[in-house]
């Protein structure tokens, strides 16, 4: 979570500029075309070379398989199927479960990093109620904050989290409000993904310097304080880090001490991490015995491949913790939706946390002056709600990504050379990292063959081919639907034989989701009813 600013400036040509000299303009344009052409040719030669990876001197290296197995066995003894939790792990350790209702859980999350410090009590309750009404069941927050709020490190009422050095001498008044937030969220069925203290990107913001200055004993004691205080709550997932760069072994050792302190007092709640952008929890922390969930923090274009890799590794269940937020990086509504469906159908089967530019910081003055409340009904917010409703209406916990295209055998698309060249060029000229510009269709099938779900981002510009034999039905029949990810509307396509292959063309140029079910399962329309 870096400081994000939205620009509303328009491009204007100054008097006496290029518009005043047509010949010069033609020369410049010719030069740009030449450079781009050469770049495209060069890129076509080098694009398939192995990408150079940055070398980090990690304190916690990815261990061999037998060590990971030992860690998983220890984890199962601690937190699997914990009683009275809105979100915990099932007994297999592969998916999430509400141990009160015994039903599988799909994370429909929202980034609300600054909620605890930026909002009044009444606004916290307003926000939680509005998100609960849309079906959100998880929020991501900082328990303390010293950068992303107007009165940092004080909360809305002027309370400080620590009466003294950071991580020591907890202020009773401040933490009573944190207790209150957890309780208000629990009543609304919302689990809080709670970061004890955000580290800060590149060590230049957040509590990074405080981590460096504090001893491991201090951080372990802070973890013990949190674990002991909140072990009886029903709705917590602990998040360690926050834009934390693993190259800083000093900070990493402190984060390990913090997590170990929490686990020593709290054997109930799950623990995950956020590292630096482009990585997942298992890239850094899989050697530790306290890691429970694999959280991905990615650029849009990296989501499908990385989700595939971590899912196929099979050591930890995977979810998308952070991607590009709505209203930032000039990202479109389509690209916001694409991030979510790419993630889920490529391996992030636990769910996804969505973010909005004004909501995550609640109109923090250094980021935006635009009000956050209207954004609770933004296109991205609505689409995230429908994403959750869709997957809750099917066996999301059994989804297996169609990595090898044995289910969707044709029409899944590829990244063109000019698209790749354009993305890299955007990076060079400072307009942001590579965009989610691909027309990649993705699919997943439930392990029992009851359902196939495919996401098509470019609408009727393409047709996809599905192997209908992948639907398992006693009568050999399959029922198909088009699901609209923008408003949740559905169209029944019809009933088909579950044999051979069949082509499907979306009904318009917009993005669509194809849902194919076993006819005998007699499932309700996608997104209309939780399974």
H or E element: which one contains 274?
A: strand 270-275
Establish how many alpha carbons lie within 13 A of residue 501's alpha carbon, considering only the half-sphere containing its beta carbon.
Answer: 13
Give the model's confidence band at 5: pLDDT under 50 very low, under 70 low, under 90 confident, else very high: very low
Q: What CA–CA distance (Å, rounded) separates 80 from 96?
A: 10
Closest CA to 357 of 118, 109, 4, 1: 4
Q: What is the mean pLDDT of residues 240-261?
A: 90
For the sheet containing 107-111, what is the strand order? 270-275, 236-244, 191-195, 138-142, 107-111, 351-354, 318-322, 294-297, 279-280
Could you tell me which residue, 168 or 425, shows the higher pLDDT? 168
Q: What are the residues facing 442 on neighbouring strands?
A: 455
pLDDT tens string 352-409: 999 999 999 999 988 888 999 999 999 999 999 999 999 999 999 999 999 999 999 9
What 3-state DSSP class applies to 383? helix
Q: What CA–CA distance (Å, rounded) separates 441 from 516?
A: 15
* 522: alpha, beta or left? (left if phi > 0; alpha if psi -120 to 50): left
pLDDT tens string 31-53: 554 444 444 433 333 333 233 23
Any idea what DSSP says for residue 395?
Answer: T
How distant is the alpha carbon of residue 401 from its chain centre? Answer: 17
- For residue 151, pLDDT over 50 is answered with yes
Could you tell me which residue, 216 or 421, shows the higher pLDDT? 216
Q: What is the mean pLDDT of residues 60-73?
A: 56
- For residue 246, pLDDT over 90 is answered with no
Any idea what DSSP says for residue 170?
Answer: B
54 to each of 57, 245, 246, 329, how far by Cα in Å? 10, 12, 11, 24
Q: Where are the domains of the chain?
A: 65-392, 408-521
Which of 3-12, 214-223, 436-445: highest mean pLDDT?
A: 214-223
Q: What is the mean pLDDT of residues 425-431?
A: 42
pLDDT tens string 84-133: 999 999 988 999 999 999 999 999 999 999 999 999 999 999 999 999 99
CATH of range 408-521; options 3.40.720, 1.10.3470, 2.60.40, 3.40.50:
2.60.40
- 368 close to 361: Cβ distance less than 8 angstroms: yes
- For residue 61, pLDDT over 90 is answered with no
Give the model's confidence band at 204: pLDDT under 50 very low, under 70 low, under 90 confident, else very high: confident
Q: What CA–CA distance (Å, rounded) separates 155 from 152?
A: 7
Residue 245 is predicted with a pLDDT of: 80
Tokens for 408, please give them: 């969707």
Could you tell me which residue, 134 or 77, shows the higher pLDDT? 134
- For residue 519, pLDDT over 60 is answered with yes
- For residue 417, pLDDT over 80 is answered with no
- For residue 278, pLDDT over 60 is answered with yes
Q: What CA–CA distance (Å, rounded) separates 434 from 427?
A: 6
H or E element: which one contains 128?
A: helix 121-133
Please, is 10 exposed, middle or buried when counting C-beta atoms within 10 Å of its C-beta (0-12, 13-18, 19+)? Answer: exposed
Burial 206-232 (b: 16+ CB within 10 A, else e): bbbbbbeebebebbbbbbbbbbebbee
Beta pairing class for 279-280 and 270-275: unpaired
User: Could you give the residue ranges of the DSSP H alpha helices within 200-277?
Assistant: 208-213, 216-230, 249-265
Q: What is the mean pLDDT of residues 234-245?
A: 95
Please give the share of the chain, as a percent, with pLDDT higher than 70. Answer: 80
Region of poorest pLDDT, from 17-26, 441-450, 476-485, 498-507: 17-26
Q: What CA–CA distance (Å, rounded) separates 345 from 399?
A: 8
pLDDT tens string 310-328: 999 988 999 999 999 999 9
Residue 75 is predicted with a pLDDT of: 59
Could you tell me which residue, 77 or 109, shows the higher pLDDT? 109
Maximum separation of any 2 CA atoms in the chain, in Å: 75
Residue 67 is predicted with a pLDDT of: 55
Contact residues for 459 (Cβ-Cβ < 8 A; gap 6+): 506, 507, 508, 509, 510, 511, 512
On average, the pLDDT of the chain sits at 85
Torsion sign across C-alpha atoms 398, 402, 403, 407: positive
Three-state helix/strand/coil letters over 409-465: EECCCCCCHHHHHHHHHHHHCCCCCCCCCCCCCEEEEECCCCEEEEEECCHHHCCEE
441 to each of 149, 243, 251, 387, how far by Cα in Å? 39, 30, 40, 16
Domain 65-392 has CATH 1.10.10.10: no
- 294 close to 319: Cβ distance less than 8 angstroms: yes
Residue 439 is predicted with a pLDDT of: 87
Contact residues for 466 (Cβ-Cβ < 8 A; gap 6+): 407, 408, 409, 443, 452, 454, 501, 502, 503, 504, 514, 516
- For residue 22, pLDDT over 70 is answered with no
What 3-state DSSP class applies to 512? strand
């Amino acid at each position: 979570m870096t400081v994000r600013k939205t620009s509303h400036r328009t491009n204007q040509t100054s008097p006496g500029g290029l518009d005043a000299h047509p010949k010069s303009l033609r020369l410049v344009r010719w030069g740009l075309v030449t450079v781009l052409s050469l770049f495209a040719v060069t890129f076509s030669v080098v694009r398939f070379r192995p990408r150079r990876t940055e070398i980090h001197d990690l304190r916690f290296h990815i261990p061999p398989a037998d060590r990971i197995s030992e860690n998983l066995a220890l984890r199962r003894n601690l937190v699997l199927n914990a009683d009275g939790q809105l979100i915990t792990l099932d007994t297999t350790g592969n998916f999430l479960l509400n141990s009160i209702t015994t039903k599988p859980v799909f994370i429909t999350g929202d980034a609300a990093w600054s909620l605890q410090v930026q909002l009044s009590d009444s606004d916290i309750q307003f926000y939680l109620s509005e998100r609960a009404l849309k079906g959100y069941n998880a929020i991501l927050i900082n328990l303390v904050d010293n950068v992303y709020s107007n009165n940092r490190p004080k909360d809305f009422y002027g309370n400080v989290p620590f009466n003294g050095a950071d991580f020591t001498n907890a202020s009773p008044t401040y933490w009573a409000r944190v207790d209150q937030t957890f309780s208000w969220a629990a009543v609304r069925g919302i689990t809080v993904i709670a970061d004890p203290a955000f580290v800060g990107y590149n060590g230049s913001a957040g509590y990074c310097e405080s981590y460096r200055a504090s001893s491991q004993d201090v951080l372990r004691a802070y973890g013990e304080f949190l674990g002991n205080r909140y072990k009886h709550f029903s709705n917590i997932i602990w998040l360690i880090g926050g834009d934390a760069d693993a190259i800083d072994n000093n900070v990493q050792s402190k984060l390990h001490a913090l997590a170990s302190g929490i686990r020593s007092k709290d054997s109930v709640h799950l623990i995950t991490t956020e590292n630096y952008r482009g990585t997942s929890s298992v890239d850094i922390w899989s050697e530790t015995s306290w890691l429970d969930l694999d959280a991905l923090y990615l650029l849009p274009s990296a989501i499908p491949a990385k989700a595939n890799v971590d899912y196929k590794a099979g050591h930890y269940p995977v979810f998308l913790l952070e991607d590009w937020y709505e209203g930032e990086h000039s990202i479109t509504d389509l690209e916001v939706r694409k991030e979510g469906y790419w993630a889920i159908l490529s391996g992030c089967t636990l769910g996804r946390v969505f973010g909005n530019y004004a909501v995550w910081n609640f109109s923090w003055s250094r980021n935006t002056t635009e009000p956050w409340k209207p954004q609770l009904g933004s296109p991205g917010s609505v689409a995230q709600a429908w994403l959750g409703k869709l997957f809750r209406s099917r066996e999301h916990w059994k989804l297996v990504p169609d990595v090898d295209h044995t289910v969707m055998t044709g029409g899944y698309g590829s990244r063109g050379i000019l698209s790749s060249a354009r993305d890299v060029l955007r990076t060079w000229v400072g307009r942001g990292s590579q965009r989610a510009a691909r027309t990649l269709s993705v699919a997943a099938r439930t392990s029992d063959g009851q359902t196939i779900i495919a996401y098509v981002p470019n609408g009727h510009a393409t047709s996809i081919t599905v192997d209908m034999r992948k639907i398992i039905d006693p009568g050999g029949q399959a029922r198909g639907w088009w699901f609209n990810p923008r408003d949740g509307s559905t169209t029944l396509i019809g009933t088909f034989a579950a044999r051979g292959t069949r082509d499907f063309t979306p009904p318009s140029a917009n993005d669509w989701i194809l849902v194919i079910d076993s006819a005998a399962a007699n499932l309700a329309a996608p997104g209309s009813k939780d399974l």
